[in-house]
Structure 1
Amino acid sequence: MANYTAADIKALRERTGAGMMDVKKALDEANGDADKAMELIRIKGLKGATKREGRSTAEGLVAAKVIDGTVGVMIELNCETDFVAKSAKFIELADKVLAAAVESGAADAETLLAYNVDGKPLSEVVVEEGAILGEKVVVRRVARIEGKSVDAYLHKTSKDLPAQVGVLFAVDGDSDAAKTAAHDIAVHTAAYAPTYLTRDEVPAETVENERRIADETARAEGKPEAALTKIVEGRLTGFFKEIVLLDQPFAKDAKKTVAKVLEEAGTAPSGFARFRVGA
């Protein structure tokens, strides 16, 4: 008879994030020794790491931290299933990855993964933890934003899962009004998903392609030639309102643009980053 209880299975699952059958097999092999079972799960997971290389990692979480109110760091850590994404082991790994991002000053995943954690590159730590979890785990991206005031906002798309959307927003002022605006716009950004901060950041070829589509659409609709320029520019303005943060109508007051909200707060944007898991 197996030398362990249902409580032992539950405890090891919480400790490793591994599936129930994997945990039971490991406990059977270890004759109920939890530490030995943990080691077996890790070894078997590492052996299966190569097989997991091609798997999709569309689940996971976003984590962020603001240092001294002036530097924001955010990471996206991916896995294969929402079961693992909400496990204590995966969340603990995300905390470790975020701490490494803060300490290293890394602004990209490649630099972060090369940073030493516990005497080895973070990339090795991630593979080892993924082995225990039994899934492919990936540090997908990192953002680092600086300003006089930086706000971080994390949003849960499901109450049962960790944050799936994260935003960093920085402004060049540190007044109470500036900090309030930074927070409100971070929340706005999570919901409205802009791609660019200003119109100048939109690639010229993207703008020209959108202008061409607007022109061809207006002609196909039979709009008069004399009105085409105005119609095309109007539709282009609508396009900018969708993808440019400063042009968007503010979520809390659609009569104002985000740019106007910042102006009224006596500040200006320094930068932003928005992550949505898998997007």
Structure 2
Amino acid sequence: MSEAAEAAPARADCVADSAGGLTFHIADWARPGPGSYDDWSGALVLRRRGAADAPDGEVRLPLGPTADGRLQAALPSNVALPEGRWDIHVAYRDAEPQRLAPGLNDLRSLVDRRPGPSTSPLSVRIPYATKHGNLSLRSWRRAPHAEAGEIRLEDDTMAVRGRLYRVAYPSEWLGGAVIEARCRRGDVPVRTAALEVDGSDFSFELPFAELARSWDGGADAWDLWLRPADEAMPPARLARILDDVADKKEIFTYPPRTVAGPHGEAQARPYYTRDNDLAVRIEAPA
């Protein structure tokens, strides 16, 4: 049955904590079958899109009654949830799980979140409503993680501030590191930009003209990475995930800048991808 055709049997309220955990509360679920409310036997079922049949494509969380008459399930931050989009269901005993609709979300603890020092993967989970009115969850799990902050456009240059998380010694990791702009056309050379570092914080300026030098007249997308000087260490994708916005692509928008390319004038614009990763697009003027 398609998502649009499914009827959400109940609404779930979500409460986030600063560590990255979520608690789900269901108030109006009409449990099928005989028995009293006290003999509830059910689960909150999370299924990752495109991977429901994979070994890590489904997570079941115990679901039980609380003193205030609701049902509750907890997703702690230490439960490994692979990156992706997870559709949320409720299941009673052996019955087929049914989709949940979104209720009220208390995501205040996610706004301007500052994770503490650790080298374990950073877990970020943001619940959201799908276009069909169902409850889903966007999950990230990254180590190291480069959080993009303020972005300023100055003529034909973008100036970015950010912060590095989930490495043992951030200032050492950032020493000698550079920003890499990688074009999704594999035949284009990687462009780099220098970093200014202050502890875990970093900043850089990336001239759009450097990216436009390889423009072929079509549309080029450049992904931005933070690469340490030590090639044995993994790079970190620049992204913005430490807040309560699940999809930033249509919300965080930036005006285009005109730059000269080998095929005439081009437009350059930073943007966030569907995964909230930071990228730059070079294309012909609209």
State the TM-score, normalized to the length of structure 2: 0.25
Is the radius of gyration larger for structure 1 or structure 2? 1
Higher helix share: 1
Higher relative contact order, structure no. (Cα contacts within 8 Å, ≥ 6 residues apart)? 1
Higher strand share: 2
